[in-house]
Structure 1
Amino acid sequence: MLNYHFLKDKLNTEYVGRSFIQFESLQSTAKKASTIASHSPNGMVVCADKQWENKTKRNKEWFSPQGGLYLSIILDLDRKKNYFCLLTLLGGSAVFHTLKDMGVSPVLKWPNDIMIHDKKLGAIFVDGITCDNIEKYILSINLNIDIDREMLADSLDNQAISLMAIYNSDIVMEDMVAMLLNHVDDLIGECYGKKSCDRIYEPWEQYLSQFANHVQLRKHGNKKWMECKIIGFNNCGELGFIQPSGNTDIIDPQKYEVIMTKE
């Protein structure tokens, strides 16, 4: 488990990570955070050494054994605005900048994956809960740090990677988590403080640019694909596109299947 006293000394945050609880094992940090959100301070972090819930929201397998980083952050935000997409981008960008600080070059694969060498290092998830008319968001970050290589290969068809597989030094987890929480706090201040969300969008736009902003979409249950053009993120972090008819819409992964196509 993390040494929080050591980690706390490295925090430069206003509120993210100032309250912190951790467990050896949880069903998921997101579920635990949701159950305590109503009486938890803004920025509280829930962390676990391993999780035993193995399904994502879209019922895909996910693997969370010992050797990963699994944390959820409880956030109070303006309930008049939908922050699900923007927080997903923010969480990914915080991971991106943390890894860059460590000398690692990740790729953010829209909508929520952290990739290295075309393999999945982790993912970002966002949940919402209403407590006494206050909308609270749960920003969850799952990363493979030092999971046994054979275990990863057997469980995820060799589609995942651990950070230690490509990192040439020891990883001090308290340092890494403090950097991550500092970046989350900084990005919240930059974006939600009405300054700029550019530093959130840029790593995701780098990924989208390799496809010349072209995408194939079809609604779940439909057989026909549409060739569409991406027009970028709006101020809620939603990714817009132009349909062949010329109409514009938002790419909702719950509504559309998506294939990025290189020209």
Structure 2
Amino acid sequence: MNATRRSILTSLSDGPVSGPEMAADLDVSRAAVWKHIEALREAGFEIESRGDGYVLSSVPEFGAGSVEYGLSAPFEVEYHDSISSTNDRARELAVSGADGIAVLADEQTGARGRLDREWASPSGGIWLSIVRRPELPPAQVPIYTLAAAVASAEALREVGVDAEIKWPNDVLVGDEKLVGILTEMEGEADRVSWIVVGIGMNANVDETTVPTTATTVREQVGDVDRAAVTRGLLERFDELTSTPEDVLPAWREAASTLGRRVRVETPGGEVVGEAVDVEFPGTLVVATEAGEQRVSAGDCEHLRPTGE
């Protein structure tokens, strides 16, 4: 959504406003205001023309316009009713030079998770991929993944879901997965060219459409305003990535892994012990019988306490 349309929506949110008033405030013609109003209507916004001016009577339930309406983070939203993969589309945009774009879909038909695992993405979910071009070395990219996990967990907690993070980035309720995150990047040895952070949230979908090891927002608290959840997620993600030093404290606050006995499958073998901390940019510290070990990547499993 361009800046003029955002400004028009802001004006309309304060009550009836006339075309001449908006034209004067925005320094555009009355004809331009009318064209923008028509474009907003086509995007799903219901805008009435009354004697005292234009009135915004409703916003779209879900889509680019509904997410961008009131969004304080600097993202442009590209929405699809259905798409094979938001990550694939975001990667195309990143390669073409894009930045600050969030690709959003109601459903995905060909999504994949880590290790090319199939990821169920039925209609009613929040399937989101964010394109960023940060100035940081590739070794620090995991901090963006952790930021996405925190933003997702906090957005869910705002609507009453008891969401927690399993290292590094799975958002769970109990032992059931609610959000998966997949980060892709391209860069050189000393700098990142682009990052795509893919976030898949089982929102307003039936539990029968996701694996038995997963859960949905609908199952936990009922259907939610997906546009508001997406908006909160994007705003928190922007805040955290703007101040990376805030990511780890927020991650620790939302984590279920710390203090738990874990088994982590790594390329170098299995690490078993108590997860005691996470270090920048996302390294898990595990207290094992042989001493502390630091794990930067791997599949983490929460174990029952010894003797239970």
> TM-score, normalization: structure 1?
0.80
Counterpart of 1:260 in structure 2 is: 302
Q: Summarize deviations over 1:205-247 as a string: whole Å, max 9, x none.
A: xx12341xx433455596xx55444342222112133554446
**Residue 158 of structure 2: aligned partner:** 101
**1:47, 1:85 → 2: CA distance?**
22
Higher deviation after alignment, 106-115 or 37-46 = 37-46
What is the aligned counterpart of 2:263 among 181, 202, 216?
A: 216
Q: Distance in 2 between matches of 1:226 and 1:94?
A: 28
1:148 partnered with 2:206: yes
**Contact kept in structure 1, 2:122 and 2:209, CA below 8 Å:** no
Are 1:198 and 2:249 counterparts? yes
Residues 1:161 and 2:219 are matched in the alignment: no
Contact 2:68/2:77 (CA < 8 Å) preserved in 1? no
Q: How does 1:153-192 map to 2 (within 5 A)?
A: 156=211, 158-168=212-222, 170-191=223-244
Which deviations, in whole Å up to 9, do the C-alpha atoms of 1:187-210 show, x marking residues without a partner? Answer: 11232xx56641233212xx1234
Match of 2:70 in 1: 10
Correspondence 1:52 to 2:109: yes
Counterpart in the other structure of 2:130: 73
In the TM superposition, residue 117 of structure 1 has moved relative to its aligned partner by 4.2
- Same amino acid, percent of matched pairs: 21
Structure 1 SS opposite 2:228: helix
Q: Secondary structure at the match of 1:74?
A: strand
Distance 1:261 1:67, change over 3 A: same
On the 8 A contact 2:248/2:278 being kept in 1, the answer is no
Q: Secondary structure at the residue paired with 1:58? A: helix
Could you tell me whether the CA contact under 8 Å between 2:113 and 2:180 is conserved in 1? no
How far does residue 54 in structure 1 lie from its aligned partner after superposition?
A: 4.6
The aligned amino acid for 1:260 is H
Rounded Cα–Cα distance in structure 2 between residues aligned with 1:99 and 1:8: 19
Unaligned segments of structure 1, at least 5 residues: none
- Superposed CA RMSD: 2.7
Unaligned runs of 5+ in 2: 1-60
Query: Residues 14-33 of structure 1: matches in 2 within 5 Å?
Result: 15=74, 17=75, 19-33=76-90
Alignment CA distance shift 1:147-1:22 (3 Å)? same
Q: Does 1:241 align with 2:283?
A: no
Deviation of the 1:37 alpha carbon: 0.4
The question of whether the paired residues in 2 share the 8 Å contact of 1:119 and 1:159 is answered with yes
- For the residue of structure 2 that corresponds to 1:209, the secondary structure is coil
SS at match of 2:200: strand
Q: 1:40 to 1:244 in 2, by over 3 A?
A: same
Q: What is the deviation of 1:59?
A: 3.6
| Greater percentage in helix | 2
- Paired AA for residue 209 in structure 1: L
Residues in 2 aligned to 1:231 and 1:108: alpha-carbon distance in whole angstroms: 15
- 2:196 corresponds to: 138
Q: 1:65: Cα distance to partner?
A: 1.6
CA distance in 2, matches of 1:226, 1:190: 31
Larger radius of gyration: 2
1:134 Cα deviation from its structure 2 partner: 4.8
Alpha-carbon separation, structure 2, partners of 1:185 and 1:119: 27
TM superposition score normalised by structure 2: 0.69
Rounded Cα–Cα distance in structure 1 between residues aligned with 2:136 and 2:209:
41
Secondary structure, aligned partner of 2:172: strand
**Counterpart of 2:285 in structure 1: which amino acid?**
G
CA–CA distance in structure 1, aligned partners of residues 119 and 127 of structure 2: 12
Change (3 A) 1:121 1:129: same
Q: Which residue is 2:118 aligned to?
A: 61
Q: Give how far 1:63 is off.
A: 0.6
